[in-house]
Amino acid sequence: MLGTGFFLRWMAAAAASVDREAERLTELDSPIGDADHGSNLRRGFAAVAAALEKEPPGTPGAVLTLAGRQLISTVGGASGPLYGTLLRRTGKALGDAGEVSPGDLAEALRAGVDAVRALGGAAPGDKTMVDALVPAVEALGESFAAARAAAEEGAAATTPLRARKGRASYLGERSVGHRDPGATSAALLVAALEEAADA
Ligand code: ADP
Ligand code: MG
C-alpha cells in the first residue's frame, strides 16, 4: 500500500528532478516554444515542495490536490494549469483514504490524464505531455518501472511529430524534428514515482 509518505516523496523527487533538468527543459522549449518550460516548472515545483513542507497534508489525495493548486497558482504558462489539473484530479479521485493501492493510483491517474485531455483538447500524437502520460498510465498497472519506460518512450516519440496543440502548433511543419518539452517533463514526473517507491 502507498501512504501519505509515498506521495510526499513523489512530489519531492519530482521537484528535485525538475530543478536538475530545468535548463534542458527550457532548451527544448526554445526552438518550438518561448524558452520558459524549465523555469515555469522549477518555480511551480519549488512552490509545491515548500507548501508540502510547511503543512504536510494527512492523506495521499490531499498531498496531490495541494500540489496541483500550487502549480495552478504559480505557473504562468500552459503547463501550469495542465499539470495542476492532472494532480488535483488525481488527488480528488483518491478521495480521503489514508493509504491506496498501486491499482487505485493507476485508476486515479487515468482520471487525471483524462482531465488534462479535456482541458487542453490534446489527443495522443498531438506532440504534447499527453504523449508521455497516456502510455505511462497504461503501463502503471504493471509496475512503476514499466510506467517510467513507457513515458520515456512516449516523450522520445514526439520528435518526428507535428504539433497540433499549444504554442508549438503555431510552427506547423517546422515543429517536426524537435522533442516536446512537456512530454519530456511528464516523463520526469513519472520517473519520480519509481524513485518514491525505491526510497
Ligand atoms: P507555454 O507553452 O505557455 O510557454 P510551457 O512552456 O510551460 O507553457 O509548456 C509547454 C508544454 O505544454 C508543451 O511542450 C506541451 O507538452 C504542453 N501543452 C501545451 N498545450 C497543451 C495542450 N493543449 N494539451 C496538453 N499539453 C499541452
Ligand atoms: Mg513555453
CATH value at residue 182:
1.25.40.340
Q: Which three cell numbers stand for residue 110?
A: 487515468
pLDDT digits (tens), the chain, 199 positions: 999 999 999 999 999 999 999 999 999 999 999 999 999 999 999 999 999 999 999 999 999 999 999 999 999 899 999 999 999 999 999 999 999 999 999 999 999 999 999 999 999 999 999 999 999 999 999 999 999 999 999 999 999 999 999 999 999 999 999 999 999 999 999 999 999 998 7
Domain of 48 in residue numbering reads as: 2-198
**Domain total in the chain:** 1
CA distances from 30 to 39, 72, 78, 109, 187 (A): 12, 23, 15, 29, 19
This prediction has a pTM of 0.98
Ligand 1 centroid to residue 57 C-alpha, Å: 29
Rounded Cα–Cα distance for residues 188 and 88 (Å)? 18
Ligand 2 centroid to residue 72 C-alpha, Å: 15
Rounded Cα–Cα distance for residues 70 and 41 (Å)? 11
CB of 167 within 6 A of ligand 1: the answer is yes
Nearest CA to ligand 1 atom 21: 166
Residue with cell 495522443: 124
Rounded Cα–Cα distance for residues 21 and 7 (Å)? 21
Three-state SS for 74? Answer: helix
Q: Residue 18: nearest ligand to its CA?
A: 1
The whole-number pLDDT of residue 58 equals 97
Residue with cell 482541458: 119
CB of 33 within 6 A of ligand 1: the answer is yes
Tens-place pLDDT, residues 65-95: 999 999 999 998 999 999 999 999 999 999 9
Rounded Cα–Cα distance for residues 111 and 121 (Å)? 15
